[in-house]
Amino acid sequence: MLDTARFTTFVAAELSVPVGAVRTLTLGSHGDTMVPVPSRCTVTVDGEDKPLTDLLPAERIEALVERTRGGGAEVVALLKTGSAYYAPSAAAARMARAVAEDSGAVMPVCAWVDGEYGISNVYLGVEAELGREGVRRVVQSELAADELAALRAAAEAVRAKQADVEDL
């Protein structure tokens, strides 16, 4: 949710629109293997949801994707000491509210993936429906081929990190 919020903010600033007019998504993991998903980005313009690709050229979208991947480092550099804590707190509050209210809200979270996107046996950033029992189900959506490949690469990177700590 944190990375999705950053992506949303960067797109809104680029287009000079309110943050509430932008819908973005990031999947995968935090950092270099993060998968911002431009194919799922829309911006409400004059009451109509328009794909991001209709509003910005590919090179500007790629620049926003790269800025999103480096967003955590950007925040830390601006703060000089410490790390980001407002946005993670807000994300945690939204997730807790979805659980407490048993709302079924769908949001990007780290969840156990077992077959979705052709990926199994790893915790990964995906969209999931949240309710009283926590993650009710992973919500799989259509991704562009390059986005799917990047998500699978992120899963392998997470799996490799899991293997590194397995014997600790």
**Can 124 be counted among the known catalytic residues?**
no
HEC readout, the chain: CHHHHHHHHHHHHHHCCCHHHEECCEEECCCCCEEECHHHCEEEECCEEEEHHHHCCHHHHHHHHHHHHCHHHHHHHHHCCCCCCHHHHHHHHHHHHHHHCCCCCEEEEEEEEECHHHCEEEEEEEEEEEECCEEEEECCCCCCHHHHHHHHHHHHHHHHHHHHHCCC
| Catalytic-role residue among 30, 136, 152, 159 | 30
Which residues does the annotation mark as catalytic?
30
